[in-house]
Structure 1
Amino acid sequence: MGTKNKLKALIFDCDGVIAETERDGHRVAFNRAFKEAGLDVEWNIEEYGELVKIAGGKERMKAYFKRYPDIYPPERFDDELINKLHKRKTEIFMDMSAKGELPVRPGIRRIIDEAHERGIILAVCSTSNEKSVVSLLQAVLGPQRLNWFNAIFAGDIVKAKKPAPDIYNLVKEKFNLEGPECFVIEDSRNGLLAAKAAGMHCLITVSFYSEHEDFSEADLVVSSLGEPDLPAKVIKGHQNLDASSIKYIDIDTLEKML
């Protein structure tokens, strides 16, 4: 049981964890990029909820266009066009981030500050484009906190995206860590499966698109990390924790689950 165990690395997914970016950020940026390119494509909230289950923006577009070959002929909607659209979508998303259109989720800054004070390794592992991730972190965390991160792994850095564990395994390799020394904060089943396959602990903060997913393998599932004045709701508890006493998630909470 956990308080003797020390957490060595705190790893964040980005979209849906750091900020509620999928519905109000990436979806909107995709639609603006499609419109600019003169394409009659607009992903509504419900439709994007299905697409978001596919890890990676380029992969999302490929899957969507492939469904309707008569409307989006493969010879035109090829890798070159998809890469071009994705590049523009990334620029739009970065601009949205810089303008502060995507607010940080509760408890994120607080737990990053605490981890930094304790000398815990901080990392981000995201399937999103690296420029999108860095621009969002810069906007919602500020340059000082961004500099505290020991590693940002993003985009196509690994061949197999979540639910494959590859991106989380990179953290273990880079910092010579064992899986149980790491805690991942995720918001999706794909992310949970990736973290668990890497042998890591995983806490889920549900996001707009993920709240109905199956998180049975998670160590803890909460509505958010919470703040002293904005309590987290425990959705699935942990045997080492008294769920009724949890107001917000801090490093001590995580270490009790190690």
Structure 2
Amino acid sequence: MIQTVIFDMDGVIVDTEPVHHYAYNQHFKQLNIIVSPEMYASFTGNSTKNIYERLKEAYNLEDDVPTLVEIKRNLFNDAFDNKEDLYLLDGVEDLIKDLYSNGMQLVLASSSANVTIERIFNRFNLHQYFTHKVSGEDFPKSKPHPAIFLKAAELAQTPVENCIVIEDSTNGIQAAKSAEIYCIGYDSFHSKMQDYSKADRVISHFNELDFNTIKNIK
């Protein structure tokens, strides 16, 4: 029986991708580099630190990675605070409340930085529903490495066979499967150039899930 649901955040709980896209592109202009849509799509599910490690190597950037990360994070924070039309994805709040009210443990495992997770959880009052929040910035390797999901299961004190992951990215789905955790792929209209073939189940709206459906996944 499933005891713990591990949620990704960006693209699953809230669509902050337009804000990230704006911040990254502002920074790319400052750095005078051109990043292809294909390369940008491959970043999905990676931590900001890992993304800038790749960019520094690919474009021989002068600034060190912490400096690059800080500049991008400041651009994101300014855009996030000024963006009024930022909402939870359709149906996810109802699912979170349904799972929580029925005693399901909820854990967040996001590649976003801790400060970004806190910003979003504060804005949408989500702290009350989740027992743990795990950030990708605390791991040397990003998704598709399974470390973040293994840590989430460990913190939940739940065997991986009693967990599920809800993910929207190729890298996240691969990370869940490498952790040997059942994975539901969320393929929404926000998703771009992601591969859901390795997911155990694919949904296009959160109304396809509820407590009873998830509890009995085998």
TM-score, length basis structure 2: 0.86
Distance in 2, matches of 1:209 and 1:66, equals 29
Extract unaligned runs of 5+ from structure 2. none
Displacement of 1:31 after TM fit?
A: 3.0
Distance in 2, matches of 1:224 and 1:49, equals 25
Q: Which of these residues, 208, 212, 215, is aligned with residue 252 of structure 1?
A: 212
Alignment partner, residue 9 of structure 2: 14
Output the amino acid matched with 1:18. I
Distance in 2, matches of 1:42 and 1:196, equals 33
Matched, 1:213 2:194: yes
Q: Deviations over 1:174-217 (max 9, x none)?
A: 22211121111100121111112222111111245745433223
Output the amino acid matched with 1:102. L
Distance in 1, matches of 2:121 and 2:35, equals 25
Distance in 1, matches of 2:45 and 2:135, equals 16
Distance in 2, matches of 1:208 and 1:60, equals 24
Distance in 1, matches of 2:52 and 2:81, equals 21
Distance in 2, matches of 1:203 and 1:11, equals 10
Output the amino acid matched with 2:98. E
Matched, 1:78 2:64: yes
Alignment partner, residue 136 of structure 1: 120
Preserved contact between residue 19 and residue 103 of structure 1 (Cα < 8 Å): yes
Q: Deviations over 1:129-155 (max 9, x none)?
A: 11112212332xx32x32221011013
Q: Deviations over 1:141-170 (max 9, x none)?
A: x32x32221011013212222111111111
Displacement of 1:128 after TM fit?
A: 1.1
Distance in 2, matches of 1:206 and 1:49, equals 18
Distance in 1, matches of 2:137 and 2:199, equals 26
Displacement of 1:83 after TM fit?
A: 3.4
Distance in 2, matches of 1:211 and 1:26, equals 14
Q: Which of these residues, 159, 163, 185, is aligned with residue 178 of structure 1?
A: 159
Displacement of 1:94 after TM fit?
A: 4.0
Alignment partner, residue 92 of structure 1: 78
Output the amino acid matched with 1:57. T
102-111 or 215-224, which moves further after superposition?
215-224
Identity of aligned residues (%): 27
* 1:173 counterpart SS class: helix
Distance in 2, matches of 1:160 and 1:39, equals 24
Output the amino acid matched with 1:253. T
Matched, 1:68 2:59: yes
Distance in 2, matches of 1:155 and 1:94, equals 20
Preserved contact between residue 204 and residue 220 of structure 1 (Cα < 8 Å): yes
* 2:108 counterpart SS class: strand
Preserved contact between residue 121 and residue 127 of structure 2 (Cα < 8 Å): yes
Displacement of 1:123 after TM fit?
A: 1.0
Matched, 1:223 2:204: yes
Extract unaligned runs of 5+ from structure 1. 227-247
Preserved contact between residue 15 and residue 190 of structure 2 (Cα < 8 Å): no
Taking a change above 3 Å as real, the CA distance of residues 166 and 174 of structure 1, as seen in their structure-2 partners, is same
Matched, 1:126 2:86: no
Larger gyration radius, structure 1 or structure 2: 1
Preserved contact between residue 169 and residue 198 of structure 1 (Cα < 8 Å): yes
Preserved contact between residue 62 and residue 82 of structure 1 (Cα < 8 Å): no
Displacement of 1:102 after TM fit?
A: 2.3
* 1:168 counterpart SS class: helix
Report how many residues are paired. 218
